Structure 1
Amino acid sequence: MEKRNMYLEKIEANIDKYNDKLADFKIRVTEVQSDLKSEYLLQVDNLEKKRDEFVEKYGQIRETSEHAWEDVKEGTEKAWAELEDSIEKAVSRFK
């Protein structure tokens, strides 16, 4: 049980960190040239969708039994890696 709880806390911290990065990214929208704003906003929308998908997977882990959470964990890890990669690519693209 403790291992699962530690994992859930780690995910929560990662979600908070991601939300902070996404908020910073949204702030940049006001600083970009008008011709880039639509592309920026499209990226923000995409990142928010990916975050929402990840949060859904996180919810699945929270709802699974103690014995089944390891099975869901693999999908969550993959989703997190994709989410993290997406934000890093978006941020580096618009620097």
Structure 2
Amino acid sequence: MTLVHSAACHFCDDAEEALHELRCEYAIDVSVVDIDSPVGRTLLGKHRPAMNPLVLVDEEFFSSGRLPRKKFIKLLESRGARLTTVGR
């Protein structure tokens, strides 16, 4: 999954922290992209989020603004991403 992160954005910081915590329970790879980087600008141009951060799952739009944790966990559960042992 990809998190397009902006400096001094509390929603961005909150989403990054939550995603890193979820890595303890779910098999997810988190890629954090700076909003001002060439990749970040390209993703913003493509998906045009209403707010930051932009969250992509498998390169597709998942959310913008505050990360909907329950919705994200539901997606992970539906994909069978829960780790069999806690910790990686």
Larger C-alpha radius of gyration, 1 or 2?
1
Length-normalised TM-score, structure 2: 0.37
The structure where strand makes up a greater share of residues is 2
Length-normalised TM-score, structure 1: 0.36
